[in-house]
């Protein structure tokens, strides 16, 4: 399988979230060796969408001649897209959002009603794609935090999507937290294996992965330097 990882963290390989993503890929690669390509989005030249809609009217040709041309090709050649990013202001970091906006050339102006919502009719065939969101964040709470990012992901990719959201993720880069992060990454690896085998992650396993690693108030005390 061809996997394209869109790493939205400006910290590149040092990203807290990428610890989760790498563990997931390790699990997937245990089942079969996949062809994985990681794009550090921060290093790419991606102009913000100009909003002219010319790409939707003229067969997908964008007015900007930047790295998005190659990235769109790479997206279409992939089987699985992993959106790996830290939660920023309840959404995705701006460079990754610019990339998402610039996928507009894959759609045409025409719209159709699907259930209760409308979506654009594709001008490229991306029906084979599966989508995985892996999102880390700095607060210990998932509720009142991840919802906007999760809602956006579901609306953008209504089919074949899976979401992993992990609170307290700066702990993945703290050696002293290994006692709790190592077992969590083992669970993520297990999820990667399961996803590779069945295309899904067991709901109980997913809920365990998405729960805080240490109690919320204890985490806040550590961050605030008020641990007694
Ligand atoms: C600009 C900015 C906005 C952030 N917004 C949120 C937020 O809305 N909720 C949250 O829990 N953490 C927030 N954080 C914390 C990051 O999500 C957290 O530090 C994360 O672990 C960074 O992951 P990374 O190392 O993969 O980039 C924010 C951090 C920055 C720099």
- Give the tens place of pLDDT for each residue, 97-119: 999 999 999 999 999 999 999 99
Q: Is the pTM of this model over 0.95?
A: yes
pLDDT per residue as tens digits for the range 184-216 = 999 999 999 999 999 999 999 999 999 999 999
**Furthest C-alpha separation in the chain:** 63
pLDDT greater than 80 at residue 228: no
Mutate to test the pocket of ligand 1, among 88, 95, 135 (most ligand atoms within 8 A of CB): 88
pLDDT per residue as tens digits for the range 80-94 = 999 999 999 999 999
Residue ranges of domains in the chain, CATH in brackets: 2-224 (3.40.50.360)
Beta strands in 73-203 (DSSP E): 80-86, 107-114, 117-122, 130-136, 161-166
List residues near ligand 1 (CB under 6 A).
9, 11, 15-17, 86-90, 136-139, 145, 169-170
* Angle in degrees, CA 168, 217, 210, rounded to 5: 35
């Amino acid at each position: 399988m061809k996997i394209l990882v869109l790493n939205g963290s400006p910290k590149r390989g040092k990203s807290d979230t990428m610890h989760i993503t790498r563990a997931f890929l390790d699990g997937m690669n245990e089942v079969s060796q996949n062809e994985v390509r990681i794009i550090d989005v921060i290093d790419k030249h991606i102009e913000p969408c100009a909003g002219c809609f010319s790409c939707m009217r003229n067969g997908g040709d964008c007015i900007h001649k930047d790295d998005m041309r190659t990235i769109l090709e790479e997206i279409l050649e992939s089987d699985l897209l992993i959106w790996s990013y830290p939660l920023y202001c309840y959404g995705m970091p701006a460079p990754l959002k610019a990339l998402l906006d610039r996928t507009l050339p894959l759609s045409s102006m025409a719209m159709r009603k699907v259930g209760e919502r409308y979506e654009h009719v594709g001008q490229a065939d991306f029906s084979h794609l599966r989508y995985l969101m892996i999102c880390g964040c700095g607060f210990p709470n998932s509720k009142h935090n991840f919802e906007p990012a999760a809602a956006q992901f579901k609306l953008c990719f209504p089919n074949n999507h899976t979401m992993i959201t992990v609170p307290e993720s700066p702990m993945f880069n703290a050696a002293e937290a290994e006692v709790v992060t190592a077992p969590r990454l083992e669970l993520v690896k297990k999820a990667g294996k399961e996803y590779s085998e069945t295309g899904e992650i067991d709901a109980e396993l997913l809920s365990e992965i998405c729960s805080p690693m240490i109690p919320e108030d204890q985490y806040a005390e550590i961050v605030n330097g008020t641990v007694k």
